[in-house]
């Protein structure tokens, strides 16, 4: 396969490093709007199959031309989600498969949303091309965990709750830190969060729904509603689920920082006049924050991404938490990156290989939970992300069982 990785940030770096380890990759093109970032990553790989180009992900004409000129067969969009529709249309025009790792939020802010991407389903089917959406850690592996639980662990799925934990601290920085794109992180946390209950979608106020959750290796951490793709796609494929939601662990400093950003207007995306100069408040804010790529080697702690699946087996209630834990120091020692980018950048490489081999196949706009989870999860461990299953005590009352101590079960 001939791969184009669009975006050489923290996640794009991990994906490029992993693609370079794949024997079936004939060519790897690393593209970024900042020439030095693409060139630096290509030089780091030092592989005759790899080269760098300068490319603006927001230009459909330029992306289409780059796909054609390089003969790309699979494009991984590791740029901002705001570029998704542009890049998808370029893939349609040039004739290559598409993968991304995140979509836009839910509020009416003018950013393309997941629904806009699914609207291109017919066009991709007509070209016999696949567009695989949300194939990172969460969304991505979390969706595959849900599919595995439905296939192997539960006769009937009644709840799918994504829980994401992080106990990281940043050496030399005691302020607000985003381990992935600050722009996307602020969007997800400050727009209303979609959840699925009682057969319909609900909008939850951002940063509400406090819930203590006991994460393996991390302990009990407080989680809150955050907008995420799983709450929108999983009900499509598991209509029997009574509840689907996403909650992210956030410490008090991060929550208060996010709320202050919104109160003071620093999360705004429109232009404001400052002494005769037009400035986008969000751009200013993000420019003052550490680049996620530069956090590699400075973060200490672990991240845990998983899916809590509840349902019925043989007439009895059961619950399982399927998850992966990544340690910042360990992944930095092995690959020179930080754990959040590591967990996000590996899954799309595995998915691309399955697509290239025809194991995951079919045209149209697709979501990870649609496919057989087994071949993906088999490669996840060998790819450096061992996953596990915990058995929950499904008989506990709702408030307590969210934080109940769980027994370890082999994956």
Specify the DSSP class assigned to residue 26: S
Residues β-bridged to residue 213 = 221
CB neighbourhood size of 39 (10 A) = 17
Q: What is the mean pLDDT of residues 261-271?
A: 86
Confidence at residue 255, expressed as pLDDT on a 0 to 100 scale:
87
Confidence at residue 109, expressed as pLDDT on a 0 to 100 scale:
53
Q: What is the mean pLDDT of residues 154-167?
A: 95
Confidence at residue 190, expressed as pLDDT on a 0 to 100 scale:
84
- Tell me: pLDDT of 395 over 60: no
Measured CA to CA, the distance from residue 229 to residue 245 in angstroms comes to 10
**Tens digits of residue pLDDT in 77-123:** 999 888 999 999 999 999 999 999 998 765 555 455 889 999 999 99
Q: What is the mean pLDDT of residues 249-268?
A: 87
Q: What is the mean pLDDT of residues 224-236?
A: 93
Measured CA to CA, the distance from residue 267 to residue 258 in angstroms comes to 8
Q: What is the mean pLDDT of residues 157-183?
A: 84
Q: Is 121 within 8 Å of 364 (Cβ atoms)?
A: yes
Confidence at residue 112, expressed as pLDDT on a 0 to 100 scale:
58
How big is the chain by its Cα radius of gyration, in Å? 20
Q: Is 340 within 8 Å of 7 (Cβ atoms)?
A: no
Residues β-bridged to residue 223 = 211, 249
Poorest-pLDDT segment among 82-86, 152-156, 259-263: 259-263
- What SS3 state is found at 401? helix
Separate counts of helices (H) and strands (E) for the chain: 15, 21
- Tell me: pLDDT of 398 over 50: no
Confidence at residue 262, expressed as pLDDT on a 0 to 100 scale:
86
SS3 content of the chain, % helix, strand, coil (to 5): 40, 30, 35
Q: How confident is the model at residue 294 (pLDDT cuts 50, 70, 90)?
A: confident
Q: Is 3 within 8 Å of 352 (Cβ atoms)?
A: yes
Residues β-bridged to residue 224 = 248
pTM for the model stands at 0.90
Measured CA to CA, the distance from residue 230 to residue 228 in angstroms comes to 6
Measured CA to CA, the distance from residue 262 to residue 351 in angstroms comes to 36
Compute the Cα dihedral for 117, 118, 124, 128 and give only its sign: positive
298: left (phi over 0), alpha (psi -120 to 50) or beta: alpha
**Tens digits of residue pLDDT in 9-20:** 989 999 999 999
Confidence at residue 397, expressed as pLDDT on a 0 to 100 scale:
41
How many alpha carbons fall within 13 Å on the CB side of residue 79? 27
């Amino acid at each position: 396969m001939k791969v184009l990785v669009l975006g050489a940030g923290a996640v794009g770096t991990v994906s490029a490093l992993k693609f370079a380890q794949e024997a079936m990759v004939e060519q790897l093109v690393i593209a970024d709007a900042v020439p030095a970032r693409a060139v630096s990553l290509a030089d780091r790989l030092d592989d005759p199959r790899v080269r760098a180009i300068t490319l603006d992900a927001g230009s459909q004409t330029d992306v289409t031309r780059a796909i054609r000129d390089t003969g790309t067969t699979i494009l991984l969009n590791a740029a901002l989600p705001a570029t998704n529709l542009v890049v998808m249309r370029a893939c349609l025009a040039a004739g290559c498969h598409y993968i991304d790792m995140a979509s836009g939020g839910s509020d009416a802010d003018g950013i393309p949303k997941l629904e806009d991407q699914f609207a291109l389903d017919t066009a991709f089917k007509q070209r016999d091309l696949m567009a695989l959406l949300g194939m990172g850690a969460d969304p991505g592996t979390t969706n595959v965990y849900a599919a595995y639980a439905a296939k192997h662990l539960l006769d009937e799925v009644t709840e799918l709750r994504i829980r994401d934990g992080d106990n990281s601290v940043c050496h030399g920085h005691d302020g607000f830190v985003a381990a992935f794109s600050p722009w996307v992180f602020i969007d997800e946390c400050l727009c209303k969060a979609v959840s699925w209950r009682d057969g319909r979608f609900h909008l939850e106020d951002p940063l509400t729904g406090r819930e203590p959750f006991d994460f393996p290796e991390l302990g009990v951490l407080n989680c809150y509603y955050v907008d995420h793709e799983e709450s929108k796609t999983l009900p499509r494929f598991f209509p029997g689920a009574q509840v689907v939601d996403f909650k992210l662990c956030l410490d008090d400093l991060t929550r208060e920082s996010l709320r202050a950003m919104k109160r003071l207007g620093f999360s705004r995306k429109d232009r404001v006049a400052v002494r005769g100069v037009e400035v986008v408040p969000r751009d200013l804010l993000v420019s003052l924050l550490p680049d996620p790529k530069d956090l590699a080697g400075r973060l200490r702690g672990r991240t845990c991404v998983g899916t809590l699946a509840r349902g019925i087996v043989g007439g009895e209630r059961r619950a399982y938490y399927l998850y992966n834990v990544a340690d910042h120091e360990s992944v930095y020692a092995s690959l020179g990156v930080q754990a959040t980018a590591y967990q996000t950048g590996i899954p799309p490489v595995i998915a691309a290989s399955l697509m290239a081999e025809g194991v995951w196949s079919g045209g149209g706009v697709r979501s990870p939970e649609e496919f057989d989870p087994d071949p993906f999860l088999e490669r996840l461990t060998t790819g450096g992300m061992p996953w596990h299953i915990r058995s929950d005590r499904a008989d506990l009352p709702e408030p307590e069982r969210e934080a109940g101590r769980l027994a370890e079960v082999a994956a």
